[in-house]
Amino acid sequence: MKTSSEKIIATEDGHIGWITFDNPARRNAMSLDMFQAIPEVISAYENDPAIRVIVLRGAGEKAFISGADISQFEQLRSNEENVKIYNAATEAAQQALNLCEKPTIAMIHGYCIGGGVGTATSCDLRIASETARFAIPAAKLGLGYRTTGVRRLMHLVGPSYTREIFYTARQFSAEEALGMRLINRVVPEAQLEGYVREYAETIANNAPLTIRAIKHSVTELLKDEDERDLDKANAMVEACFSSEDYIEGRRAFMEKRPPQFQGK
């Protein structure tokens, strides 16, 4: 799939849609055009029935995302108006991931810094290699951090670790990140891609309507009570019970064979 940024590569492999951040010369630092390309790729994958899981990864051997491209700050984040434009693009990218109806996985190796953490925490799951390093160095740059990003992080690690991550601005190892619940799994570097591929295929082989319903329910339950759309969540659950996939699931169980779900 061609994207509006040459540094965002979108490829399809069976039921998996891959998004690769391809800026290895800058350790995959995110430029404005890269942030702007993410919503269009997510939209395309959401509208492609063949794609059931989306995996994000960084090109090269050194980083998932090493943060925002600071070389652009003087031009693109030097005054209030430009800051608003830049922040809107980053928030739109992270919201596209967060609200995507299909499961998203961040495959993390090397540096996952600043906007890398924001992108990873916008995904449903995070699987990291044992060499991964995490940090949000906003306090070393004098940057403010939007409450939407803080909230997503806090939902994962809680308020105490959120404060530690921001207050110290230091780097955390993969094991520390796992202990904080920032990530779901840590695997050896050499096994990372194979593990994530198998993990994504496991999800892709399950019933898409069931997964979509549970993702919507979790998303709604994380909102403030007066902002939740539980009627839609309940309707999506009912749709599972009236689906062809529910019939297929029952038959496959009785026939002792793997189900062949169609998302219908």
226 lies in the same domain as 192:
no
On whether residue 225 sits in a domain, the answer given is: yes
Helix (H) or strand (E) holding 129: strand 125-129
216 and 88 within one domain: no
The answer to whether residue 261 sits within a structural domain is: no
CB count in 10 Å sphere of residue 4: 12
Whether 160 and 219 map to the same domain: the answer is: no
DSSP label at residue 206: S
Q: What is the pLDDT of residue 79?
A: 61
Quick one: 245 and 166 in the same domain? no
Q: Are residues 90 and 111 in the same domain?
A: yes
Domain boundary among 204, 224, 243: 204
Sheet holding 111-113, edge to edge: 63-65, 111-113, 133-135, 172-173
pTM: 0.93
Cα 158 to Cα 153: distance, rounded to the nearest angstrom:
8
Return per-residue pLDDT of the chain as tens, 264 residues: 778 888 999 999 999 999 999 999 889 999 889 999 999 999 999 999 999 999 999 999 999 999 877 666 555 555 677 678 888 888 999 999 999 999 999 999 999 999 999 999 999 999 999 999 999 999 998 888 889 899 999 999 999 999 999 999 999 999 999 999 999 999 999 999 999 999 999 999 999 999 999 999 999 999 899 999 899 999 999 999 999 999 999 999 999 999 999 999
| DSSP bridge pairs for 187 | 129
Does residue 259 fall inside a structural domain?
no
Q: Which two tokens stand for residue 109?
A: 């190796």
Burial 52-83 (b: 16+ CB within 10 A, else e): bbbbbbbbeeebbbbbbbeebeeebbeeeebe
Would you give the distance in Å from CA 97 to the centre of its chain?
Answer: 6
Instruction: Specify if 176 maps to a domain.
Output: yes
Whose CA is closest to 62, among 118, 9, 136, 133? 133
Do 184 and 217 belong to one domain? no
- Same domain for 160 and 213? no
Q: Are residues 67 and 162 in the same domain?
A: yes
Res 81: pLDDT? 73
Q: How far apart are CA 130 and CA 54, in angstroms?
A: 22
- CATH code at 80? 3.90.226.10
- Dig out the tokens for 20 from the structure: 């690769």
Q: Quote the domain boundaries for residue 244.
A: 208-254
- Quote the number of domains for the chain: 2
**Residues 163 and 232 grouped into a single domain:** no
Of 162, 186, 204, the one marking the end of a domain is 204
| Among candidate residues 182, 204, 226, the one where a domain is terminated | 204
Residue 264 lies in a domain: no
Instruction: Tell me: do 189 and 94 sit in the same domain.
Output: yes
Residue at 1 is within a domain: no
Q: Is residue 3 part of a domain?
A: no
Quote the pLDDT of residue 217: 95
Please indicate, yes or no, if residue 2 is contained in any of the structural domains: no
Residue 77: the pLDDT is 55
pLDDT for position 75:
59
Residues 40 and 95 in one domain: yes
CA 50 to the chain's CA centroid: 19
User: Is the same domain home to 195 and 240?
Assistant: no
